[in-house]
Chains A and B, each alone.
Chain A
């Protein structure tokens, strides 16, 4: 332990106090017509002090701690075991996946309405994250305005149903195609920009779209949004208590069962499930096709990829458009689930959440993204009292992931051929 270490540790502890005390320890409260100050309770003060002490001792014994951490034997991946043969692994994976899907199909019939509703939201996030995964994870283009395409999909459905009476099933492909078109048009000029400039420009586009939706009151209803968006029908059968559209029948009357709000929720869940599975399968296929390999090649080394004759614009644009397509898909489902949309739902924070899911799951990895979507949506629901801290934890998790494990929880693994080690 050197004097320098001590000084540094002291400095860090002081900084911790300075950063924490004014904001946490002194609360601004409205007292009648004036703003007053209120000291926080003792537990907060103690917590601040403890935090400073922790920082102090960590910095003081930093070298020792780091050395100790370094000594912990790293679990060698698959050490001592023969790696599972690839064919077997692929086979097992597909069995597991099939099992999960079958489980997901029957699960909603045994749980409460709220859980199914939440699961639908999870599936929407999975679709979004899978789509963004193509753009960020595979093609390496940081898109901070992804929510714009989600909004385009949702608004396409809402507007078409409001002005032209188009149903969910018609709007689903239209919404996705329209979002893809948007991606194509927006992507064309911006894709020649470098990484972080691209990020900012997409962010700007996302905000502009939201502001336009907000201000174009005559068409989009402005901040009031659009309500009365129809739910999907099953061969012309509606799930509401009363039939809204002429010519449709109602589900419960057709089958002669009592009306229950759960039918609708479960039906929506199943639709979302099917669409999410389709999204995953399509993207899985694309990843193995030449275009998928081109995305990754461009991400890894743009110059090398271009020297090999890949068209930078075409490759990037395809990723951008496909990502937008699936966002449009998810947007349509979202609009139908909510029955009401407004620009409030398409703020930057939403883009950041989707990005966080992709980052946490491991950029490029599909299973990882699915797990992360589930974790990010469900954990705050389970610990409802702590839902205030959700965004705080999000932010912290994004930083920590980047620092410790930028490849994500389940990094992507490509099927590859391993050379036999020389004996």
Chain B
């Protein structure tokens, strides 16, 4: 009985982390789906989202505003605005001018951007770990056995629900709205979409903005859940999210969700049953295996090499 409870607890831990990976992975998967490049700086945009949210929360606290829903909404909106602007600016500055060149060139440009943003925040905000206030505290408890109690914290529930809402909204947006339709058209064939009168530059910008906004949501959630932020934590999270995107099949939005959850659970099971030291090895090992044996991922479409 206790083993089962332990397993369930680790599963909950994994699913929580996994759903935030999924939110970040959307940014990778959409960008890759449309222009076929890896947006290396996406992890940094997530980190900036977390910082902005923390700045907003601290600012409100200084002003004496403590009504929780208001604080959360203001922090969320601020983070989304700043991250989206960042996403837009990054695309404009670093990616648009090199679009269509040799594959390696946008990638190197993206790595440069990632290093730049990391150090931008590092210089502006210092390299210390900054504590993130625990706004949502407390938990549901159930099923106790031999002193072990399964607990599901309110924060974890918040993360699940927010992720679910964001994913549903995104799916509806992509399938129903005009811009969503244009997005799909552009990812099918950029040149053709252009000929049909779609402003492809605008659509590509929109992709970056949407991805960045979701990363900001993840930044706020994870900041509150973990408890601190530092300028370096975006990079590793970005890599993990990218792994999730590849795992699920890059370019596919349900794939990103699935990949995120699988990765999160794999990590938490590794820490739970083996040792936390090896969880990154498992994540990267999974990435390598998937790329070697099924480069299209779980839900991805096979890509035809055009000559």
Residues of B within 8 A of A18 (CB): 81-82, 85
CA distance A214 to B284 in the complex (A): 15
Residues of A within 8 A of B37 (CB): 196
- Known contacts A19-B86, A406-B98; A204/B287 CB under 8 A: yes
Query: Across the interface, do B107 and A196 meet the contact criterion of CB distance under 8 Å?
Result: yes
Query: Across the interface, do A15 and B103 meet the contact criterion of CB distance under 8 Å?
Result: no
B93 within 8 A of A: yes
Query: Across the interface, do A200 and B246 meet the contact criterion of CB distance under 8 Å?
Result: yes
Task: List residues 114-132 of chain B with CB under 8 A from any CB of chain A.
Answer: 114-126, 128, 130-131
B108 within 8 A of A: yes
Query: Across the interface, do A24 and B124 meet the contact criterion of CB distance under 8 Å?
Result: yes
Residues of B within 8 A of A211 (CB): 277-278, 280-281
Residues of A within 8 A of B149 (CB): none
A5 within 8 A of B: no
Task: Convert B79-110 into 0s and 1s, putting 1 for each residue whose CB lies closer than 8 angstroms to a CB of A.
Answer: 00110011011000110011001111111110
Task: Convert B240-265 into 0s and 1s, putting 1 for each residue whose CB lies closer than 8 angstroms to a CB of A.
Answer: 00100010000000000000000000
| CB-contact partner of A27 in B56, B107, B124, B239, under 8 A | B124
| CB-contact partner of B106 in A30, A201, A349, A402, under 8 A | A402
Task: Convert A60-101 into 0s and 1s, putting 1 for each residue whose CB lies closer than 8 angstroms to a CB of B.
Answer: 000000000000000000000000000000000000000000
Query: Across the interface, do B112 and A396 meet the contact criterion of CB distance under 8 Å?
Result: yes
Count residues of A near B (Cβ-Cβ below 8 Å).
58
* Chain B residue with the shortest CB-CB distance to A18: B85
Task: List residues 214-270 of chain B with CB under 8 A from any CB of chain A.
Answer: 235, 239, 242, 246
Stretch at the interface among B14-22, B47-55, B66-74, B190-198: B47-55
Residues of B within 8 A of A392 (CB): 115-116, 119-120, 123
CA distance A18 to B246 in the complex (A): 32
Residues of B within 8 A of A271 (CB): none
Q: In whole Å, how far is A329's beta carbon from the nearest beta carbon of chain B?
A: 25
Query: Across the interface, do A402 and B108 meet the contact criterion of CB distance under 8 Å?
Result: yes
A185 within 8 A of B: no
Task: List residues 127-167 of chain B with CB under 8 A from any CB of chain A.
Answer: 128, 130-131, 133
Q: In whole Å, how far is B243's beta carbon from the nearest beta carbon of chain A?
A: 8
Query: Across the interface, do B112 and A199 meet the contact criterion of CB distance under 8 Å?
Result: no
New A-B contacts (6) at CB < 8 Å, excluding given A19-B82, A401-B112: A18-B81, A348-B235, A356-B112, A359-B108, A395-B117, A402-B108
